Amino acid sequence: MVNLVKLRHINLRMPMRRNAETITLPEDLQVFAEERVRAGQNASVAEVVYDAVQEKKLSALREALDAGIAELNAGLG
């Protein structure tokens, strides 16, 4: 038997963008995001998602920079 997770839809409005995108969050992430909003850490669920995406992008950039710096330090650049 397959255990289905109830999914919710939210509209994610990106800054400086007029088109809204609809994304689906698994129930556990929806609850997490709603808790952050209730706690005053974010203004909306969309903001929680946006912040998470931005942090993921920054993390990937940091990793790429670290790899590039390591190559330079090893005399490979």
Residue 61 belongs to some domain of the structure = yes
Q: Alpha-carbon distance 11 to 7, whole Å?
A: 13
Structure-block tokens of residue 31 = 């609850």
pLDDT above 60: residue 2: no
Indicate the number of domains in the chain. 1
The DSSP annotation for 25-60 comes to EEHHHHHHHHHHHHTTS-SSHHHHHHHHHHHHHHHH
Percent of the chain at pLDDT exceeding 90: 66
Residue 30 belongs to some domain of the structure = yes
Residue 1 belongs to some domain of the structure = no
Residue of 27 and 1 predicted with greater confidence: 27
Residue 49 belongs to some domain of the structure = yes
Residue 36 belongs to some domain of the structure = yes
Does the reported pTM lie above 0.75?
A: no
Range of the domain at 30: 7-73
Residue 2 belongs to some domain of the structure = no
pLDDT band at 73 (very low <50, low <70, confident <90, very high): very high
Q: What pLDDT digit, counting tens, does each position of 14-48 carry?
A: 555 556 778 889 999 999 999 999 999 999 999 99
